[in-house]
Amino acid sequence: MENYDIIIVGAGAAGVFMSYELTKADSSKKVLMIDKGAPIEERQCPIKRGLTERCIRCNPCHIMNGYGGAGTLSDGKYNITTDFGGDLHVYVGEDKAMELMEYVDQVLCSFGGSEAKLYSTASSDLRTLALRNDLHLLSAKVRHLGTDRNVEILKKIFEYTSKKVEMRFRTTAASVEKTDGGFKLTTEKGEELFCRDLVLATGRSGSRWIARTCEQLGIKTKSNRVDIGLRVELPADVFKHITDEVYESKLVYRTKQYGDLVRTFCMNPYGEVVSENTNGIVTVNGHSYADPALFTRNTNFALLVANRFTEPFHNSNEYGESIARLSNMLGGGVLVQRFGDLIKGRRTNEHRMAKCFTAPTLKATPGDLSLVMPKRQLDDIIEMVYALDKIAPGTANEDTLLYGVEVKFYNSTVPVDERLETEVKGLYVLGDGSGVTHSLSQASASGVHVARLLA
Ligand SMILES: Cc1cc2nc3c(=O)[nH]c(=O)nc-3n(C[C@H](O)[C@H](O)[C@H](O)COP(=O)(O)OP(=O)(O)OC[C@H]3O[C@@H](n4cnc5c(N)ncnc54)[C@H](O)[C@@H]3O)c2cc1C
């Protein structure tokens, strides 16, 4: 019988920072962290290795799973803010949330992150320019590590924590049972692991599992929103005056036609568009490197519209999945269309794509996004492209590329208290898996918070 004081399920941002803080606290607790993905050095997307041009649906997906979680091969943008990226402040308080995120930043810096610049929107003229054009700039400090530096930092954190915390990879949690003294966790391989405190930090890729587990333990989760949108890719020069100053700008616009809010999300100057596979559904995302030798000539960012449902439909993720599935059906994966073609109501085909001045950084299927995106969200996005064109002329060019679909799935919200503990005592749910956080900074901060409570 294998007994632990604490078991952490999921070695993503939340799990990594929880294990770091437990190691640093030099707690005498016996800790195990498991993850269904691979160790960091074995995480390689076949597209990146040049083995395939399109997503071949690895199981589990290397982009989403393994040491460092969805953050490892990401852009590594740590936004220190409570304006977006989750609701951690609602649970732990505004000051505490900011202190935890600043602390995460310090830890990253101590492992090599200080070489990356910390950008801030605090004294930016961009706010005024945006306001004059009906756009709203959200406040944040952001440290952009870049995918390459991010991986190096995570490898160092792994080295530090693995001396103290036992870690098992390619180990999937299957079921959780409450026992007298804590919990029994059974893995897909049939291992039976026992612990007093159980921490679930399974991120977005564990969304279905966590919903099922909560249901089995009698914890009622609440449906969250789903964000649907497209990823925009254009020559980096178009946004250079903005990205040079604040790196990532979160701009929000209320559309005239529907009064919906559209926002920019995950801006990647000189970056690459990538595909990602969540529960077998291929969607689009983006990242960029810190090393200028790896820069592309393009900037990419998402334009997202939030969707919430009340009666009689509750499953917002299913709505997002259905739209993504439609794009997968038509394009075999991600679709790409020139903005000019979308406005003219015609498909972008290989011939038109070949004439495009903007060279795509992702091999996607040229197609017609209006056959996939619901009219309302597509109208919202087109209106936003024209709004952005006022502060970054060139955004609405014919050859601006739109990739679809980008879906931001949010896990159902698990009811937790300020300790991020559920009504089942000793069971903690952190990071994006809880529906409380949606970002690297906040997920990592939630890990530090619970580690301090348990150490
Ligand atoms: C391509 C991409 C780029 C991104 N870029 C940014 C960015 O620049 N800035 C930002 O703030 N956010 C970014 N994000 C979002 C960010 O990665 C997440 O908010 C963050 O990783 C959440 O951390 P987490 O620990 O909660 O979950 P995750 O990082 O998703 O980790 C969860 C882990 O749990 C494991 N797991 C799941 N189910 C099980 C199970 N049953 N058993 C065992 N293990 C399991 C998974 O394998 C995974 O490793 C990006 C996401 C993607 C996909």
Task: Identify the CATH number of the domain in which residue 203 sits.
Answer: 3.50.50.60
Please, which residues bridge with residue 168 across strands?
A: 34
Question: What is the rounded CA–CA span in Å between residue 402 and residue 408?
Answer: 16
Dig out the tokens for 102 from the structure.
């600043």
The pLDDT, as a whole number, for residue 312 is: 75
Answer whether 31 contacts ligand 1 (Cβ < 6 A): no
Sheet holding 401-409, edge to edge: 135-137, 251-254, 261-268, 298-307, 226-235, 401-409, 335-338, 365-366
> Could you tell me the distance, in angstroms and rounded to a whole number, from the CA of residue 407 to the centre of ligand 1?
15
Model pLDDT, residue 258: 95
Q: How many structural domains is the chain composed of?
A: 2
Residue that terminates a domain, selected from 394, 409, 424: 409
Q: Does residue 16's CB lie within 6 angstroms of at least one atom of ligand 1?
A: no
Is 74's C-beta closer than 6 angstroms to any atom of ligand 1?
yes
- Probe target for ligand 1 pocket from 35, 79, 149, 273, with the most ligand atoms within 8 Å of CB: 35
> pLDDT tens, position by position, for the chain (455 residues)?
799 999 999 999 999 999 999 999 977 899 999 999 999 999 988 877 777 777 777 888 888 999 999 999 888 999 999 999 999 999 999 999 999 999 999 999 999 999 999 988 877 789 999 999 999 999 889 998 988 999 999 999 999 999 999 999 999 999 999 999 999 999 999 999 999 999 999 998 898 899 999 999 999 998 888 899 999 999 999 999 999 988 888 999 999 999 999 999 999 999 999 988 777 788 999 988 888 999 999 999 999 998 877 777 777 888 888 999 998 888 888 999 999 999 999 999 999 999 999 999 999 999 999 999 999 999 999 999 999 999 999 999 999 999 999 998 888 899 999 999 999 999 999 999 999 999 999 999 999 999 999 99
**Residue 130 Cα to ligand 1 middle (Å):** 31
**The token pair that represents 20 in the structure block:** 């770091």
SS3 content of the chain, % helix, strand, coil (to 5): 35, 25, 40
Angle at which helix 94-110 crosses helix 440-454, to 10 degrees, equals 100
Reported as half-sphere exposure (CB side, CA atoms, 13 A), residue 328 has a value of 21
This prediction has a pTM of 0.86
Number of neighbours of residue 180 by Cβ within 10 angstroms: 4
pLDDT value at position 410? 85
Count of alpha carbons within 13 Å of 341, Cβ hemisphere only?
24
| Structural domain contains residue 130 | no
Determine the Cα–Cα distance for residues 254 and 252; give it in Å rounded to an integer. 7
Instruction: Find, among 67, 14, 56, the residue nearest to 277 by Cα.
Output: 56
Q: In whole angstroms, what is the distance from residue 290 CA to residue 52 CA?
A: 25
Q: Looking at the domain assignment, is residue 133 inside a domain?
A: no
Is 279 in the same domain as 388? yes
CB of 331 within 6 A of ligand 1: the answer is: no
Picking from 376, 391, 409, the residue at the C-terminal end of a domain is 409
Q: What is the pLDDT of residue 48?
A: 73
Both 321 and 345 in one domain: the answer is yes
- Is the Cβ–Cβ distance between 3 and 13 less than 8 Å? no
Looking at the fold, whether 331 and 403 belong to one and the same domain comes out as yes
Which residue has its alpha carbon closest to ligand 1 atom 46?
65
| Rg, the chain, Cα only | 21
CA–CA gap between residue 130 and residue 137 (Å, rounded): 7
Of 270, 337, 274, the residue nearest 47 (C-alpha): 274
Note whether residue 126 is domain-resident: no
Domain contains 128 = no
199 and 250 co-located in one domain: no
135 domain-assigned = no
pLDDT at 398: 98
Bond from prior residue into 282 cis (ω within 30 degrees of 0): no
CB neighbourhood size of 266 (10 A): 23
32 contacts: CB under 8 Å, gap ≥ 6: 2, 4, 6, 7, 8, 165, 166, 167, 168, 193, 195
Shared-domain flag, residues 167 and 300? no
Q: Is residue 125 part of a domain?
A: no
Tokens representing 15?
Answer: 């799990």
In a domain, 123, yes or no: no
**Ligand 1 centroid to residue 429 C-alpha, Å:** 14
For atom 27 of ligand 1, the residue with the nearest CA is 203
Give the closest residue (by CA) to ligand 1 atom 2. Answer: 74
What span, in angstroms and rounded, lies between the C-alpha atoms of 449 and 426? 15
Same domain, yes or no: 76 and 201: yes
- Kind of pairing between the strands at 173-178 and 183-187: antiparallel
Best residue among 439, 444, 448 to mutate for probing ligand 1, ranked by most atoms within 8 Å of CB = 439
State pLDDT tens for residues 353-392. Answer: 999 999 999 999 999 999 999 999 999 999 999 999 999 9
What range does the domain containing 307 cover? 226-409
Residue 73 Cα: closest atom of ligand 1: 1
CB-ligand 1 contact for 39 (6 Å cutoff): no
Longest dimension (CA), the chain: 67
* CB 271 near ligand 1, within 6 Å: no
Residues in the chain: 455
Same domain, 386 and 275: yes
Q: Quick check: CB of 432 below 6 Å from ligand 1?
A: yes
Residue 337's nearest CA partner among 374, 367, 370, 379 is 367
Closest by Cα among 342, 345, 359, 25 to 164 = 25
Based on the fold, state whether residues 161 and 274 are members of the same structural domain.
no
Q: How far is the CA of 78 from the centre of ligand 1 (A)?
A: 13
Residues 309 and 418 in one domain: no
Atom of ligand 1 nearest to the CA of 287: 3
Whether residue 245 sits in one domain with residue 362 = yes
Is the distance from the beta carbon of residue 446 to the nearest atom of ligand 1 less than 6 Å?
no
Verify whether ligand 1 is closer than 6 Å to residue 210 (CB atom): no
For residue 431, the ligand 1 atom closest to its alpha carbon is 26
Task: List pLDDT tens digits, range 208-238.
Answer: 899 999 999 999 998 888 899 999 999 999 9
Residue 279 lies in a domain: yes
Domain check: are 26 and 155 in the same one?
yes
Tokens 């009811």 belong to which residue?
415
Judgement on whether residues 218 and 231 belong to the same structural domain of the protein = no
- Tokens linked to 442: 């906040």
Instruction: Tell how far the Cα of 288 is from the centroid of ligand 1, in angstroms.
Output: 17
